[in-house]
Structure 1
Amino acid sequence: MSAPHQEFSGVAVTVDVVVLTIRDDQLQVLLVERGVEPFRGALALPGGFINDDEDAEPAARRELAEETALDGDSLYLEQLRTYAAPRRDPRGRVVTVAYLAIAPDLPVPVGGTDARAACWQPVWSVLARDVALAFDHLAIVEDAVDRARSKLEYTTLATAFCPEVFTMTELRRVYEVVWGVSIDARNFHRKVVNAEDFVVPTGERRVLETGRPAALYRRPGAVRTLFPPMLRGAFPPVLPSESVLPSESGA
Structure 2
Amino acid sequence: MTEGRLDRKRRLRRRRRFVFFAILVVMAAAGLYFAFGIGGSEKPQALDEDERIVPTTVADPTSPEAVPPTPEVETQVTPPLYFSGTGTWTYAEPANDTIAGDAGTLLQYDVAVENGLELDATEFGAFVNATLADSRSWTAGGAWRFQQVAEGAGADFTVYLASPEQRAILCGSQNTTVSCRNGDNVVINSARWITGVDHWDGTLETYRQYAVNHEVGHRLGHGHEVCPAEGELSPVMAQQTYQLAGCVGNAWPFPDGSTYVSGPAGDYNGPDLPPDHYIDQ
TM-score by length of 2: 0.25
Structure that is richer in helix per residue: 2
Looking at CA atoms only, which structure, 1 or 2, has the larger radius of gyration? 2
- Higher strand proportion: 1
Q: TM-score, normalised by structure 1?
A: 0.28
Q: Which has the higher contact order (CA 8 A, sep 6+)?
A: 1
